[in-house]
Amino acid sequence: MQISTTRLSKSFSRKEQRTVAYENLNFQIEQGEFFCILGPSGCGKTSLLRTIAGLETATSGELNIQPLNASKPGSIGMVFQEHGLFPWMTIRNNIRFLLENNRQMVSRDLDAIVNEFIDLVGLTTFADYFPHQLSGGMRQRVSIARSFANEPDLLLMDEPFVFLDYQTRCALHGLLLDIWQRKKKTLVFVTHDIEEAVFLADRVLLMSAHPGTVKSIIDINLPRPREFLTLRKLPAYQDQVSELMELLREECEPFNL
């Protein structure tokens, strides 16, 4: 799936007060790329992602989502910050429920798909547990499995690892890259974590805050497959991180970060 925007803007009005979420965004996301939207909190990056997902509408400008196959509308998968799983369904049913509602999955062996993706995220023995019986990291693994199992044309992730501890987050970065490389999906990933963006992305869109605009779009030229422990020693990696840090620092200057 290919996404392009022209002068995309969104603002909220409440009690005569107009707040701009994002303004005048122009960018393109290519088929099959890992695209990160990076910015300080309050820059409208989550709002932008929700607009792409169809959960919100932009106030002005154009958002063009081009499906791979023009005859059928492309499907979207999404991973939220937390609590995206239905607490009254087991892990297995959380994945299966979405498949049952997916027209592309009619006449497919749903049980086999569910099992494949539960195995893929290493939760085979937890398949019949309820979400509250799992740790936060395990729950996000289920969310990731669920989003990939649907074979979406586009995957959207809204800071999915923000509430996890550092160790778990590193492990899930590896897992996510592994699955993404096997399934080759267009993936848009929102984060405020610079290292996370550099480690995962092909390209990073850096947003400025108040109002949210495109500050720059940076190519991450690091080899794949990436492995965190080796990658972090590469000078290229460190350069990219510090370049982004300096750019982000300008954004936070008034607060003297």
Partner 1 sequence: MLKNRYFWLFMSPVSILLLWETSTRSGLLDARFFPAPSVIFYYLIFTSPGEGLWTDISASLYRIFWGYLAGCASGIVLGVSMGLNHTVRMMIYPLVALLYPIPKIAILPLIMLVFGIGEMSKIVVVAIGSFFLVLINTLHGVDSVAKIYHDVAQVYRIKKHNFVLRVILPGALPAIFTGLKLAIGYSLVIVVAAEFSGADAGIGYLIWQSWETFSIKAMYAGIFVIGALGLAFSLILNFLERCLTSWRDTDQ
Question: Quick one: tokens of 66?
Answer: 């081009």
Give the type of residue at 135. Answer: S
101 binds partner 1 (CB under 8 A): yes
Binding string, residues 7-46; x marks residues near partner 1 by CB under 8 A: ----------------------------------------
Minimum separation from the CB atom of position 81 to partner 1 (A)? 9
Structure-token match 């610079």, residue found: 194
Nearer to partner 1, 105 or 247 (CB): 105
Structure-token match 């970060």, residue found: 257
Nearer to partner 1, 162 or 241 (CB): 162
65 binds partner 1 (CB under 8 A): no
Binding string, residues 198-217; x marks residues near partner 1 by CB under 8 A: --------------------
Minimum separation from the CB atom of position 131 to partner 1 (A)? 8
124 CB burial (10 A radius; 0-12, 13-18, 19+): exposed
104 binds partner 1 (CB under 8 A): no
Q: Let me know: does 216 contact 208? Beta carbons within 8 Å.
A: no
| CA gap 127, 134 in Å, rounded | 11
- Figure out which of the listed residues 150, 186, 191, 213 binds partner 1, where binding follows CB under 8 A: 150
Q: DSSP 3-state assignment of 216? A: strand
Nearer to partner 1, 133 or 238 (CB): 133
Nearer to partner 1, 69 or 101 (CB): 101
72 binds partner 1 (CB under 8 A): no
| CA gap 22, 9 in Å, rounded | 5
Nearer to partner 1, 47 or 150 (CB): 150
| CA gap 48, 51 in Å, rounded | 5
Minimum separation from the CB atom of position 50 to partner 1 (A)? 8
Helix, strand, coil percentages for the chain (3-state, nearest 5) = 40, 25, 35
- What's the longest Cα–Cα distance across the chain? 58
Binding string, residues 151-170; x marks residues near partner 1 by CB under 8 A: -----x--------------
Binding string, residues 108-147; x marks residues near partner 1 by CB under 8 A: ----------------------xxx---------------
Tell me how long the chain is: 257
DSSP 177-206: HHHHHHH--EEEEEES-HHHHHHH-SEEEE
Residues that bind partner 1 (CB under 8 A): 50, 53-55, 75-78, 80, 83-84, 86-89, 97-98, 100-102, 130-132, 150, 156
